[in-house]
Amino acid sequence: MSKAIVISDIFPLYKEPSLQSELCDELLYGMSAEVLSEEPNGFVRIRTYYHYEGYALPNGLLNSEEQARHWQDTPKWTVWFPYLDIKTKPTVQSRNITSCPRGSLLGVLGYEIIGDGYIKVGLADGRTGFVRRPCIAPQTVSWSKTDDSIRAKLVRTAKMYLGVQYRWGGKSPLGIDCSGLTSMAYMLHGILIYRDADIRPEFGMREIPFENKQPGDLIFYKGHTVMYIGNNEIIHATAHPTAEGVVINSFDPFSPVYRGDLLQKVVKTGSIF
């Protein structure tokens, strides 16, 4: 078992060690993982830092204990822009070193605003570059149940993905699935929940009565999950025939986006509060 860092923009994980297998998750730039084993066909078995497992080709993975430890100790900021270019110089005209989606992690090398509104950042492989300051924010590594604003933050973050296409196993603004949406909305605020559409007690989410739900809580179905956002509305990533991608639906029969089928098929409701 060895530690590794993702150095590609989006690093796909598969359910089985084959490109014909279904996608089960995506790691994003700068995220850490453990390589559990090597498969005979070149795939490796991966465990993410949020305890999800899958198979991947090692391209785009920096498998170095020393660099992984250094990266772990490096102060990092989170990319909040949908898709962000890292530049060679602090100007809009300069060449791109690489690009990465919302949720990626970059090292902090300075706080001074330079050039065209840029700050200097470090990449996981040791290179340096520049990004626009408004596009990133300090990494949230903890949260508090006494923070009354966290529910509103979760809802607001989920809404940032509105209109993103549905992608089975995806969790970036280029494509996202139902549990990818909910887990990313939580992860961006320093809260780790189970990656799939279920409640796992080891992640701190507990089952609550459906009628007690509040904004930011999750509603679970067989193979699907949504976030309750208040006023009888939910946000979710769906491939339903009536919609595509991340949309808002309602439990109100008088709403033009009513989904009575979802209201009738609730399996459980979960909350971290």
pLDDT for 174: 97
> How many Cβ atoms sit within 10 Å of the Cβ of residue 47?
15
> How many Cβ atoms sit within 10 Å of the Cβ of residue 65?
10
Rounded Cα–Cα distance for residues 52 and 5 (Å): 15
pLDDT for 114: 94
pLDDT for 65: 87
pLDDT tens digits, residue range 154-177? 999 999 999 999 999 999 999 999
Q: First vs last Cα of the chain: how many Å apart?
A: 35
Q: Which domains does the chain have, with CATH numbers?
A: 2-72 (2.30.30.40), 74-138 (2.30.30.40), 150-271 (3.90.1720.10)
- Ranges of residues in the chain whose predicted pLDDT is under 50: none
pLDDT for 140: 87
Cβ atoms of 177 and 169 closer than 8 Å: yes
Backbone angles phi, psi at 263, to 5 degrees: -65, -35
pLDDT for 216: 97
Q: Which residues are catalytic?
A: 178, 224, 236
Q: Which residues make Cβ contacts (< 8 Å) with residue 54, sequence separation at least 6?
A: 13, 14, 15, 24, 25, 45, 46
Q: Which residues make Cβ contacts (< 8 Å) with residue 51, sequence separation at least 6?
A: 202
